[in-house]
Structure 1
Amino acid sequence: MLRAAAKIPRRGCLYRYKSSVATTIEDPASALSAEIKRLRHIRNVGVFAHVDAGKTTVTERMLALAGIVHRAGSVDEGNTVTDWLPAERERGITIQSAAISFQWDWHNNRKGDDYEANDSVSISLIDNPGHVDFSVEVNRTVAVLDGAVLVVDAVAGVQAQTETVWRAMTRPSLNNHNPVEHTVERQDHAHEPLPCLAMVNKMDKEGCHFGSAIASLRQKLPGANPIPIQIPLFRSSSTNKAGIFPYGVVAASANDDAAGGGLSGEFVGLVDLVHMRAVLWPESSNVSQVENCVPQTIQLLQPVTHAAVDPDCQVTQQALSARSNLIELLADCDEEIAELFLAEQEPDNATLRMALRRATLSRKALPVVTGAALRGKGIEPLLDAIADLLPSPLDRLPPALVCLEQGQNSSEKPGSITVGHPLHPQVLAFAFKVVHMKGRGGSGDGRVVFARVYSGELRERDCLRVLSPPSPGERTVVPRIERIGSMLELAGGRFDRLESGVCRSGEVCALVGLKSVVTGDTILMGPEKGNKKQQKKNNSLICLAGVAAPKPVLKVRLETDSTEQQTALLDALSLLTVEDPSLVVEEVESSTLLGGLGELHIDVTLDRLRREFGINVRAGSPSVSYRETIIDDMETAGLCNFDKTIGGTRMQAAVHLLLEPTWGDESEDESACMLLFEPIVAVSDRAKTYLGLDLESSDEDLMLRSELFKSVVQGCQGAMRRGPLSSYSMVNLKCTVLNIEAEEGLSSLQAMPGSLRAASANAVATVLSENRSLCTVLEPTMSIEVSLPNDYVGTVLSDLSSRRGNVADILVGETGTNRVASKALVRGEVPLVGILGYSNSLRSLTGGEGAFTAEYKGHSPTSISL
């Protein structure tokens, strides 16, 4: 639950917080100190994973341990807190990200282990979808989180969507904020990639292998440096001296070998390598009840001498070896541990824990824990690790800010905190998600806005200014004035009113009554009475960069039974596109086209139209979103003349331009996939000079101030919306206008800018039609991963070949080991059109035992005629 407190005055000596360890404050007893302490105990964390890796089960167990629910829900039973949509509970998957807040007692510090005061943390947890069709949910939650938990299947290791969410967390574009030219301060104020923990889940599953899962983290996630801070314990049939452990309990290794990391037997617990203690969970038939899963803790070392309690114990020996490996790996990431390692000194628990925290915050290490969430094992240590290792809002840099007013500079003094820092008094919040709930929102459509407050505080009845980030070349949008009706606490699908009515910096909240807010909007404090100087400062036009939604790759045609139903359909789709920016609705030829990221995405949307809005929709067959591009340079033969008389008015201009592909340098293989980018239009200095434009001005300024420049750019862009081969939109090319001339001089163009627009469009169309052989059609290509029994590999490979698939990797399950021997894994690339409806075909080919996941990889040149 979000907590309320008084507004913090600006006082004392403030320094920018890169770490919560080093802080300088003049008055430790001030309200500022209390505010810093509050912020240090906040964790905004997201749970990410591939489909069916167990992230929702992990979340549900966390809520049960925190006392939010009396018993942990089950995905199979459809009674989880965070999967609250009917479609989620029926399909057993997460479709919408769901947020919930709770308190967690910090177990590592409860007995005074260097942190007696830090006994509880407030965790705002967001459970994210694992299916690629709902990747927009991942993109916008990554933008507001401070840390992440990556859940990995102990059998499958890193899978396709695991790699996708890893890229979302660590991509160099600094989450959703694209550094732009005009920022309040330097570009390093953009959001950093997320520090992360990894959990190897499903250690109770047949064929689990802790070492292989860690090896897959190292091999498949770029920049990941997995460091195991736990090792699993199994009850094995081997003869093991009982000692301080129950008979038969042995420890696995983190190494990638069958003898160490893949022990067979019942998963019973783990060893915490930082504190050198074993945690054993009892077996219970009712694991949903937290009271039946209270673990037993066994210390492996003496408290004073640090000597082994039982030197001959296999668990102790394996734990000492794993701890030595942990220290050695950490020495490469942290200078303090490196000094102790070289001096052959053993770090104490607090030193090791703080070094792990520093390495995690700097993303030099990926701490790895283990567990079996379905059995209620391993979640308490995971929550402790979230508190110990993941960042608070003070450990993160302020977000990137876009200045919307010319000549506006930062008013902050050098060395002071900036807008967006959690200690800054000015309100800055980001609307990262919008849902519609009947009877909840004050806007008539039930709109509820989820927002992250970066600085300042929001209260019920506050008057706000809402700004949408402008598109390139677009004039600054006038701020919209809104008022908060009420606030809701974060509780998954249960939305109760927030009693305190206040959301402070570093927290996430749900706002009711905002009628026009959409995903990506920036929220600032509205006009205030009082000090004019302070009012002017608070009214400065700054905004966050927003969230970019992936473009649809699939479209279906929608039909209804009546005109009344058609009107209701358009109204419902307008609400759904506000909730999900990756949905695109087009009205063409008296019909409605719905675009999405895949078949499941479209199916879920149609299901919601029927359930929530009562609209009976008929959908046509899916159609793939094709594009066109060029494979080589093409240039007009000098000036391409356009001369027409329309309505007695002569429109004449000549344009010389060059088209260049922007994807040829990415790969020498023409069949390589490429991500799509809109065409770039540039105007040479020679053409600008002829038009009398200022060469020092940016293209963005010229688009706003010069009608001639705008006409040239829009003419080229309009012509590239229809390619020469199949009339698909052109992508991934650059159009450079080299020269412009007019028979009657510049004055004729100024009097009739439309002639310049028509001439530039004509030049693009002419050069494309004359060079059709240098054009190609692009089709969406999917990265596919098929899991199937060994006996059906040949059949599936033959089928993929008939679908124009390109198989890159085949892993056949080994027999005679403790791994899952009957399963094979096939990875490759297949055109999207080739796998429409593939689920039914795969089940038929494999006797119902095959499963696959597909992720959009990019568009690639097609070899078939369309």
Structure 2
Amino acid sequence: MGILAHVDAGKTSLTERLLYAAGVIKAVGRVDDGSTTTDSMELERRRGITIRSAVVSFELGDLTVNLIDTPGHSDFIAEVERALSVLDGAVLVISAVEGVQVQTRLLMRTLSRLRIPTVLFVNKIDRMGARYDSLLADIGRLLTPSAVPMGAVRDLGTRTAQYEPFPLVHQGLGEMLAERNDSFLAAYLEDTLGEDDYRRELLSQVRRSLVHPVYFGSAMTGVGVPELIDGIREWLPRATGAPGDPLQASVFKVERGAAGEKIASARIFTGELRARQVVEVHRGSTSYEVKPTSLRVFERGSTTAVDTAEAGRVVALRGMKEIQIGDQLGSVGARSGQLFAPPTLETVIRPVHGADGGKLFMALQQLAEQDPLIQVRKGEEISISLYGEVQKEVIAALLESEYRLAVTFSETTPIHVERPIGVGTAQREIGDPGNLWAAAVGFRVSPAPVGTGIDYRLEVELGGLPRAFHTAIEETVRQTLLQGLYGWEVVDCRVDLIRTHYFSPVTVAADFRRLVPLVLMQALQEAGTRVHEPVNHFELDLASDAVAPVLGKLAEAFATVRNSVVRQGEARLEGSIPAGRVHTFEAQLPGLTHGEGILLTTFDAFRPVVGAPPTHPRTDGNPLNEKQYLLHLNRT
């Protein structure tokens, strides 16, 4: 089960209350005091936010819950994605005071798309300004029309606020269920349904992600939490994987222990996993075998060493040096794809002390193990990809606390991509002028449909070249296209291998690895590329009297408004905005809307850059300049 929310809605406090109710902890920790169980990093305790997903297991009666507490800030959406990939069900926490916030909407949209059964918990009913009726209306309008309240609140917004559950058989629930099941509707109209009928139908619709029960309470006082626990036990689905099936598990977290060893957290969906068992690991189109040296299961707030873990468990694995987040153990799972867009921003990171450059690069590589989307690049300077500005602060704090490194950042800029616009071919034979290697290759480069990535194909006989040479060629093609004519990654590109030749036993794989970039970039140069910039879709809710000044700022940000609706003093604007302009516009929004504007942005697409294409510093020695490239090879 995952606990998800916009930052500060109270999900970590709710986690503490659940652990207390299960008897795992003797006192409820406080986020403000830095005494919570799942925020274990020093930085998390200091800032009072969740940065890394944390796993804790406990018992609710006969139900074992493996709970994943996820970050709430949008800059750490990659952490949330990894948690979503292993969930059976979720609790989405909403603040009764702040209401439906930007991240809440993004999370609910993703939970619905993945059809993950979800219960909503409205927290902070004891705070001044807490809402009930208007908040339920906002939930129906902004999150899901299938949310059904399971109770009411007495003394709302006071310290004595109490949650009062509805009887299961009531009009609101009956109408909601009837809208989604014709046979239930017929019996509902005939008034022949009892409590068991309601319970069966609600269970069925929640587990199919058609209806979302809404509970109210306070994680700080514990009001409403027992009812939420009953809802979790009754409505959310239990793990169904069978131990006798083939092993299928997914790695969703990688961290390092005190001795620097990798520790991988994985969810076992089916089958069983044994310590020191040889396991096949799948990553994209590649696979390899590994043998975990240690196997621990999460239980009662800690981990316990075991010899075997069965389907439904979350485990911590040691002894797998090459393991990465997203790796599939045994066989490939159904939810192994990426749910959210990759980062569209990047920044150059520099050590305050120039001599620390090598140490900084190694530290960033270790942080990238925990968050693969950081994507560290090293050329003349080191750059990293980001989701937002808060990530900068967190990376700087982690480098200082864990590696004793002080750093500075350049201004954040958008990550562009290149797409081929024509067809280009190039080839070099053994003995050709400029070909220093005992290898020959030829390529044809052409555009591929949007979203294809790199479509690599063979027009040569597979058996005409040793398998190791084919592997070297394909790997180098993909590596080379990370930097196109302008230095940006090339996407949506078809590459046909049209010529190969070698001399046995002189030729080695390294000959192809060095020759391929020269030939491939020559073909790409003949085809030509166009640089595209990342563009976000935006939804903006604001008061109608703020529309005019906001439209002016959107125009300054080169945004396009495609749809606008104004009614009863409120307005909604929808359109697109360049990703590189979002942060500046977002910073201006509170002043333009009296602090009431709600902006939701999600990656939409890449669109062609108008005017001179921006360039990106190269790290590959530049195969477009043969002399420079050869000097680069000699240095490396």
- TM-score using structure 1 length: 0.60
- Read off the aligned partner of 2:360 and give its amino acid letter: L
In structure 1, which of residues 567, 570, 575 is the aligned counterpart of residue 366 of structure 2? Answer: 575
CA 437–827 in structure 1, closer or farther in 2 if over 3 Å, else same:
farther
Aligned counterparts of 1:163 and 1:793: Cα–Cα separation in 2? 22
Aligned counterparts of 1:801 and 1:582: Cα–Cα separation in 2? 31
For the 8 Å contact 1:714–1:757, the answer to whether it is kept is no
For the 8 Å contact 1:214–1:226, the answer to whether it is kept is no
- Read off the aligned partner of 1:387 and give its amino acid letter: R
Aligned counterparts of 1:693 and 1:485: Cα–Cα separation in 2? 41
Where do 1:648-659 residues align within 5 Å? 658-659=446-447
- TM-superposed deviation, 1:426: 6.1
- TM-superposed deviation, 1:388: 0.4
Aligned counterparts of 1:212 and 1:749: Cα–Cα separation in 2? 76
In structure 2, which of residues 205, 213, 217 is the aligned counterpart of residue 359 of structure 1? Answer: 205
- TM-superposed deviation, 1:501: 7.5
Residue 161 of structure 2 is aligned to residue 268 of structure 1: yes
In structure 2, which of residues 313, 325, 344 is the aligned counterpart of residue 519 of structure 1? Answer: 325
Alignment-derived partner of residue 198 in structure 1: 120
Residue 414 of structure 2 is aligned to residue 624 of structure 1: yes
For the 8 Å contact 2:345–2:415, the answer to whether it is kept is yes
User: What whole-Å deviation, never above 9, does each CA across 1:554-590 have from its counterpart, x for those lacking one?
Assistant: 222233355763343233223211111122112112x
Aligned counterparts of 1:342 and 1:83: Cα–Cα separation in 2? 50
Aligned counterparts of 2:602 and 2:442: Cα–Cα separation in 1? 45
Residue 620 of structure 2 is aligned to residue 830 of structure 1: no
Larger CA deviation: 58-67 vs 267-276:
267-276
In structure 1, which of residues 735, 743, 749 is the aligned counterpart of residue 494 of structure 2? Answer: 735
Alignment-derived partner of residue 763 in structure 1: 523
- Read off the aligned partner of 2:166 and give its amino acid letter: L
**Structure label with greater radius of gyration:** 1
User: What whole-Å deviation, never above 9, does each CA across 1:141-170 have from its counterpart, x for those lacking one?
Assistant: 122221111223446654432343234434
Larger CA deviation: 650-659 vs 153-162:
650-659
Residue 286 of structure 2 is aligned to residue 469 of structure 1: no
> How much is the aligned-residue C-alpha RMSD, in angstroms?
4.4
Alignment-derived partner of residue 130 in structure 1: 72
Alignment-derived partner of residue 346 in structure 2: 555
Alignment-derived partner of residue 646 in structure 1: 434
What is the aligned residue count? Answer: 603
For the 8 Å contact 1:624–1:780, the answer to whether it is kept is yes
Aligned counterparts of 2:78 and 2:560: Cα–Cα separation in 1? 27
SS of residue in 1 equivalent to 2:200:
helix
Structure number with the bigger relative contact order (C-alpha 8 A, sep ≥ 6) is 1
Alignment-derived partner of residue 510 in structure 1: 316
- Read off the aligned partner of 1:357 and give its amino acid letter: L
Aligned counterparts of 2:318 and 2:517: Cα–Cα separation in 1? 45
What stretches of structure 2 of length at least 5 have no aligned partner? 615-636
In structure 2, which of residues 69, 81, 96 is the aligned counterpart of residue 139 of structure 1? Answer: 81
Residue 174 of structure 2 is aligned to residue 327 of structure 1: yes
In structure 1, which of residues 432, 440, 459 is the aligned counterpart of residue 252 of structure 2? Answer: 432
- TM-superposed deviation, 1:807: 5.0
CA 692–709 in structure 1, closer or farther in 2 if over 3 Å, else same:
farther
CA 842–488 in structure 1, closer or farther in 2 if over 3 Å, else same:
same
Aligned counterparts of 2:581 and 2:217: Cα–Cα separation in 1? 38
SS of residue in 2 equivalent to 1:604:
helix
- TM-superposed deviation, 1:133: 1.7
Alignment-derived partner of residue 798 in structure 1: 552
Alignment-derived partner of residue 611 in structure 1: 401
- Read off the aligned partner of 1:230 and give its amino acid letter: M
Residue 146 of structure 2 is aligned to residue 226 of structure 1: yes
- TM-superposed deviation, 1:616: 1.9
Alignment-derived partner of residue 56 in structure 2: 100
SS of residue in 2 equivalent to 1:558:
strand
For the 8 Å contact 1:160–1:785, the answer to whether it is kept is no
In structure 2, which of residues 256, 260, 269 is the aligned counterpart of residue 454 of structure 1? Answer: 269
Aligned counterparts of 1:169 and 1:69: Cα–Cα separation in 2? 30
Where do 1:330-729 residues align within 5 Å? 330-334=177-181, 337-338=184-185, 340-348=187-195, 350-394=196-240, 421-424=241-244, 428-438=248-258, 444-455=259-270, 462-472=275-285, 474=286, 476-477=287-288, 479-484=289-294, 489=299, 491=301, 496=302, 498=304, 503-511=309-317, 515-523=321-329, 542=331, 544=333, 548=338, 551-560=342-351, 565-589=356-380, 591-629=381-419, 634-635=422-423, 644-646=432-434, 658-660=446-448, 662-663=449-450, 678-682=453-457, 688=459, 691-692=460-461, 705=467, 711=473, 720-724=481-485, 726-729=486-489
User: What whole-Å deviation, never above 9, does each CA across 1:331-355 have from its counterpart, x for those lacking one?
Assistant: 344576345325321312x332122
Aligned counterparts of 2:480 and 2:262: Cα–Cα separation in 1? 39
Aligned counterparts of 1:703 and 1:165: Cα–Cα separation in 2? 49
- TM-superposed deviation, 1:88: 2.6
For the 8 Å contact 2:343–2:386, the answer to whether it is kept is yes
- Read off the aligned partner of 1:448 and give its amino acid letter: I
User: What whole-Å deviation, never above 9, does each CA across 1:263-312 have from its counterpart, x for those lacking one?
Assistant: x9998344433446xxxxxxxxxxxxxxxxxxxxxxxxxxxxxxxxxxxx
Larger CA deviation: 383-392 vs 151-160:
151-160
- Read off the aligned partner of 1:659 and give its amino acid letter: P
SS of residue in 2 equivalent to 1:344:
coil
CA 810–91 in structure 1, closer or farther in 2 if over 3 Å, else same:
farther
User: What whole-Å deviation, never above 9, does each CA across 1:402-447 have from its counterpart, x for those lacking one?
Assistant: xxxxxxxxxxxxxxxxxxx333176554332122242xxxxx3054
For the 8 Å contact 1:466–1:522, the answer to whether it is kept is no
CA 587–727 in structure 1, closer or farther in 2 if over 3 Å, else same:
closer
For the 8 Å contact 1:715–1:761, the answer to whether it is kept is no
For the 8 Å contact 1:336–1:355, the answer to whether it is kept is no
For the 8 Å contact 2:50–2:71, the answer to whether it is kept is yes
Aligned counterparts of 2:427 and 2:294: Cα–Cα separation in 1? 57
Aligned counterparts of 1:89 and 1:123: Cα–Cα separation in 2? 24
CA 796–452 in structure 1, closer or farther in 2 if over 3 Å, else same:
same
SS of residue in 2 equivalent to 1:99:
strand
What stretches of structure 1 of length at least 5 have no aligned partner? 1-44, 106-119, 173-192, 237-263, 277-322, 395-420, 439-443, 525-541, 664-675, 695-701, 769-774, 816-822
Alignment-derived partner of residue 93 in structure 2: 151
- Read off the aligned partner of 1:84 and give its amino acid letter: S
Aligned counterparts of 1:95 and 1:703: Cα–Cα separation in 2? 48
For the 8 Å contact 2:296–2:306, the answer to whether it is kept is no
For the 8 Å contact 1:95–1:134, the answer to whether it is kept is yes
- TM-superposed deviation, 1:199: 2.7
- TM-superposed deviation, 1:206: 6.2
Aligned counterparts of 2:572 and 2:9: Cα–Cα separation in 1? 16
- Higher percent of residues as strand: 2
- TM-superposed deviation, 1:130: 2.1
For the 8 Å contact 2:281–2:329, the answer to whether it is kept is no
In structure 2, which of residues 10, 27, 30 is the aligned counterpart of residue 54 of structure 1? Answer: 10
Residue 2 of structure 2 is aligned to residue 82 of structure 1: no
- Read off the aligned partner of 2:447 and give its amino acid letter: L
- TM-score using structure 2 length: 0.79
For the 8 Å contact 1:629–1:730, the answer to whether it is kept is yes
Aligned counterparts of 2:225 and 2:356: Cα–Cα separation in 1? 48
Larger CA deviation: 373-382 vs 644-653:
644-653
- TM-superposed deviation, 1:831: 2.3
- TM-superposed deviation, 1:357: 1.0
SS of residue in 2 equivalent to 1:83:
coil
SS of residue in 1 equivalent to 2:202:
helix
Aligned counterparts of 1:486 and 1:558: Cα–Cα separation in 2? 37
